[in-house]
Amino acid sequence: MRRRTLLAGLAAAPISAPALAQSDAARTFRFIPNADVTSLDPMSTTSYGVRNHGHMCWDTLYGPDGSFTMRPQLCEGHTVEDDGLRWTFTLREGPRFHDGEPVRAADAVASIERWSRLDTLGQTLRARTAEMRALDDRRFEIRLNARFAPMLEALGKPSSYPCFVYPERFARVEPSRPFTEVVGSGPYRFVAAERLQGARAVYRRFEGYVPNPRPPSLLGGAKHAHMERVEFLWMPDSGTAAAALQAGEVDLWEQVAPDLRPVLRRHRDVTMERVDAGGFMAFLRFNHLHPPFDDPAIRRALLHSITQADFMTAIMGNDRALWSDRIGAFPTSSPLANDEGIEALAGPRSFDRARAALREAGYANGPVTVLHPTDVVNNNALTTVLTDSLRRSGLNAESATSDWGTVLQRRARQDPPSAGGWNALIVVFGGVDLGGRGVLPLLRGNGRGAWFGWPTSQALEALREEWLDTPGVDAQRAIGRRIQAALWTDTPFIPLGQYYIDAAWRRNVTGLQRGLTLPINVRKG
């Protein structure tokens, strides 16, 4: 394996990017993200690489602090009146866009409108909104026709999709038409002239940025741009990434490859820790628009053969401290985690039973196209296991290999697989997408309005609405059990396990916020 052959000469491995002069190095922060910045518009994809880019360039109205409590970010605060049906928000005085224009309430309103068309939680807010309007330059109101308890969680969610605030002229662009110019409201400017697709994205400090007055705390406090320049360097080869970190050519690596953890742990100038304590969950996502997975019986057939431990060991090895199986709809860190119907995935595994169930469902050996990104280490390994499991279960599965950017483009297509669409893929969500009510997008069943895969499930939709409207953790837990029971019947996705990934950084790096690995608030030296 190429990655392992690099271990012998790790410290001396070549670095593709040019070395910085010492003076430049002190002002520049180099970051290896988990995925490339494949698009400049954060509403064009749920990729974490693009999400990270978004948090560099834009701010949200609210954001989670280190305890994942929502705090004002661009907002100064809000009031709630009329029995929860009227929310009035006030923006902070001072924030400006990168073109020098002030951030106005009209920008926020237009941004919420654009975001709510695609985001699964935003769609619920949109359905419950009677009117949304700017009252003046700093105040806007949302009038609801039904209460919406997770309002702040929706406006402050840090991922998939964050409700970033764009200039109104950008926010009025249809989400289906990604913009290609970046005029942000965040601490860094995007340097378009230095972008190298598939290799590098560059950001420079926005001198006109006015940080939140509270101390830094994830995304719910100040976002300081201490570094003059930040570079996102996409290094799909993990050995090269580890070598660059050891040599001091990069400062922070978002996700350390598991087999390189021992090497980095021994290096005196490298710190390796778990930044995202919520871990990650992997899922098999079906395309419900086309055969064969438009048939719930065919989706359920795979519950006989999918073995979560096979997927987890493929990426994390045999160390059980790094992963968990017997995972249902919710991660172990969630208060909604439960064992309802878990024997569907934890009972005896049998490819023979899966093949029999497929025959009974009428599967006629039609092709199954599996999207397979080869340049994202974990997704590559997980998809290799998936394709093998599908074939052994009796499906005529074919692996459509490509780079991550191509997978993201193809994932968004609703065409039949023969016309550029797809049937199945692996998706991974981090802790920030798993903890809050209504945040995990896979739990929507609103057809073509749902997250990629587009399932229709009246049962899941009804339970989700009830969950959003129910106060109290105990009552929500009871609904969580019913949601998980519905999962084994409708099977819009299959959980593949939960795992934990460390980040690694040079020991001279300070200010990294726990919960999300971002080069914001960081210093060197």
Please write the tens of the pLDDT for every residue from 353-403: 999 999 999 999 999 999 999 999 899 999 999 999 999 999 999 999 999
What count of other Cβ atoms lies within 10 Å of the Cβ of residue 476? 17
pLDDT score at 437 = 73
Contact assessment for residue 378 and residue 315, using Cβ atoms and an 8 Å cutoff: yes
* Res 435: pLDDT: 67
Q: What is the pLDDT of residues 479-513, one digit of tens each?
A: 999 999 999 999 999 999 999 999 999 999 999 99
Check whether 5 has a pLDDT greater than 60.
no
Domain range annotation of the chain: 24-34+179-275+502-524, 62-171, 280-499
pLDDT at residue 176 in the model: 87
Mean pLDDT for the chain? 93
Task: Give the pLDDT mean for 258-263.
Answer: 92
What pLDDT band is residue 70 in, cutting at 50, 70 and 90? Answer: very high
Q: How many residues appear in the chain?
A: 525
pLDDT at residue 6, rounded to an integer: 35
Q: What is the pLDDT of residue 22?
A: 56
So what's the pLDDT on residue 438? 75
DSSP string, 167-235: -HHHHTS-TTS---S---SSSEEE-GGG-BTTTEEEEEE-TT----SSPP-TTSS-----SSEEEEE--
Q: At residue 373, what are phi and psi to the nearest 5 degrees?
A: -80, 125
pTM over 0.85: yes
Predicted local confidence at residue 8, as pLDDT: 37
Mean pLDDT over 60-77 rounds to 95
Query: Which phi-psi region, left, alpha or beta, contains residue 454 (left: φ > 0; alpha: ψ -120 to 50)?
Result: left
Shortest CA distance to 480 belongs to which of 495, 490, 470, 489?
470
- What architecture is the 62-171 domain classified under in CATH? Alpha-Beta Complex (3.90)
> Architecture of 280-499 per CATH?
Roll (3.10)
Query: For 300-321, how does the pLDDT look when each residue is reduced to its tens digit (9 = 90+)?
Result: 999 999 999 999 999 999 999 9
Q: Give the right CATH number for 24-34+179-275+502-524 from 3.40.630.10, 3.40.190.10, 3.40.30.10, 2.40.100.10.
A: 3.40.190.10
- Beta partners for 60? 164
Please tell me the predicted confidence (pLDDT) of residue 21: 55
Tell whether the model's pLDDT for residue 23 goes beyond 80: no
Side chain identity at residue 205, one-letter code: R
Beta strands in 394-448 (DSSP E): 396-402, 424-430
Q: Which of 276-280, 319-323, 436-440, 504-508 has the highest mean pLDDT?
A: 504-508
Q: What is the pLDDT of residues 123-159, one digit of tens each?
A: 999 999 999 999 999 999 999 999 999 999 999 999 9
